[in-house]
Amino acid sequence: MPGSREPQGKGAADALDQSRLTHLVGYAASRAALAMRRVFAQNFAPLDLKVVEFSILMLVAANPQVNQKQLGQALDISPPNMAVTLDRLVERGWVERVRSTQDRRAMHIHLTPRGTELAARAEKIAATMENPALRALSAAERALLIELLLKVAGGKGGKRG
């Protein structure tokens, strides 16, 4: 019908010819990242936890002597933004800054008891939250996808078990 427009939404995007984009790794990675962020938001909404906060909690839980600079470098967050984010986590009672016993100038980031409990709950959710979105992949394909994405990102991926 002249003058009518197809409703916006998933159906409208599916109808578009995306062939000039789908061969680009960046486009595919961005589309996948958007889908995974939606999965994260749905699963972590009850905990009122953002992706960056979750990442910090997991890094602090796995690295007892970590400092603010190391966290910022690992997550590619500028020092001022990391300071603000950590201040927010301190205010929420999840982490604390603790002076190093070896170097009195250094401050380490530690989980509080409340942060430890939250990290455990979050890690339990994270262990299975991606399964529905990734059900089309075998376990081997999923492991390969993670390995390749980390390779592209230039990261080592840390220990996997």
Domains of the chain: 24-151 (1.10.10.10)
pLDDT of residue 157: 57
Lookup result for tokens 């999965």: 39
DSSP 58: H
- Per-residue pLDDT at 101: 82
The 10s digit of each residue's pLDDT in 38-92 is 999 999 999 999 999 999 999 999 998 899 999 999 999 999 999 999 999 999 9
For residue 103, what pLDDT is reported? 80
Residue 152 to residues 9, 32, 155, 160, Cα–Cα distance (Å)? 31, 15, 8, 18
Q: What share of the chain is helix, strand, coil (3-state, %, to 5)?
A: 60, 5, 35
- At residue 161 the predicted structure's pLDDT band, cuts being 50, 70 and 90, is very low
Statement: residue 30 has pLDDT above 70: yes
